Amino acid sequence: MKKVSLTTLMKMKQENDKIACLTAYDASFAKLFDTCGIDMILIGDSLGMVLKGEDSTLGVTVDEIAYHVKSVKNGVERALIVADMPFMSYATPEQCYANASQLMASGANMVKVEGGTWLLESVRGLIERGIPVCGHLGLTPQSVNVFGGFKVQGRNAEKAEAMLTAAIELQEAGIQLLVLECVPTSLAKLISDKLSIPVIGIGAGPDTDGQILVMHDMFGISANYMPKFSKNYLLESSDISSSVDQFIKEVKSGAFPGPEHSFE
C-alpha cells in the first residue's frame, strides 16, 4: 500500500474519507496496526500513563519518546508517524527546535505540540526548518494541573470562541493537522468545518475528519481508568487484529464515536 503522507490526509479530508489513528509504542503493535490499514500512528506521551503507570503524562522525556519512535518506525511501512513533544520540551523556540529535530531523526514524520497562541513563533520556526507540526487543543493533558484535572474544555461561549481563534491562528502559522481532545461535539464540528487542514478527534464527537484512540484504551487494558470517549473493541472481536479492523471500519463509516463516547 502507498505510504500515507500529509498530502494523503489532506485529500482524505477533502473527499470526506475519515482518518483512522491509534497510538503505538513498539514495533510489533505498530506493524499489526500498519498491516490492518491504520492511517496514522502517534507515539504519545500517554506512554507515561499506559506503559509506566503514572497518573499523568508530565514525567515523560524526549529520550523516552525518541526510543519508542525508533521502535515504531521499525514496524511501519505505510502509516504516517507522529511523535508527541513531552511536557516542557518546547517551552522556548530554541528548545523546541532542538527536541523536535531529535524526534524527527528518530523516525517521526511530524511532531505534535499542545497549546494555542503562545506556540505560534515555534510553529512557524519548525515549519521554516522543515519539520511538520500537528497542533493539539481542548483537553491538553500536559496542562492538567492548570485545568484542575481531566475535564471537558470549551463548554462556555467565551472558551469555545478562544479555542476556535487559536485553531485558526495555528493553521495560519503552518500546522498541517490538529487534534481536538474532550470538546463538545458542536464545537469540534465548527472547528473542523472552519479549518482547511484535517482535524482528528478524541472525545470530540463524530464530525471531525478522523478519530484517534490510545491503543490500551481500545483493548480495555489501560492501567488506571477507561475514559468515556473510548471503546473496548476486544469485547466484540475474537482477536486483536479483528478489533483493529473493526475500529477502522467504524471510524470510516462514522459509527464511532457514538453519542455515548461524546460530550455536549
**Distance, CA of 47 to CA of 256 (rounded, Å):** 24
Asked whether residue 84 is marked as a ligand-binding residue, the answer is yes
Q: Is 64 a catalytic residue?
A: no
Alpha helix ranges (H) inside 86-226:
93-105, 120-128, 144-147, 157-173, 185-194, 215-218
Which residue in 64, 161, 169, 181 is the catalytic one?
181
Helices (H) and strands (E) in the chain, counts: 11, 8
Strands 80-84 and 110-112: parallel
217 is in an annotated binding site: no
Element (H, E) at 156: none
- Report how far apart, in Å, the C-alpha atoms of 74 and of each of 106, 130, 199 are: 10, 22, 27
Listed in sequence order, the residues at least 6 apart from 252 whose beta carbon sits closer than 8 Å to its beta carbon are 17, 18, 20
Strand partners, 179: 136, 200
The answer to the question of whether 39 is labelled as a binding residue is no
Binding residues, by number, are 45-46, 84, 112, 114
Binding residues for Mg(2+), by number, are 45, 84, 114
Binding residues for 3-methyl-2-oxobutanoate, by number, are 45-46, 84, 112
Active site residues: 181
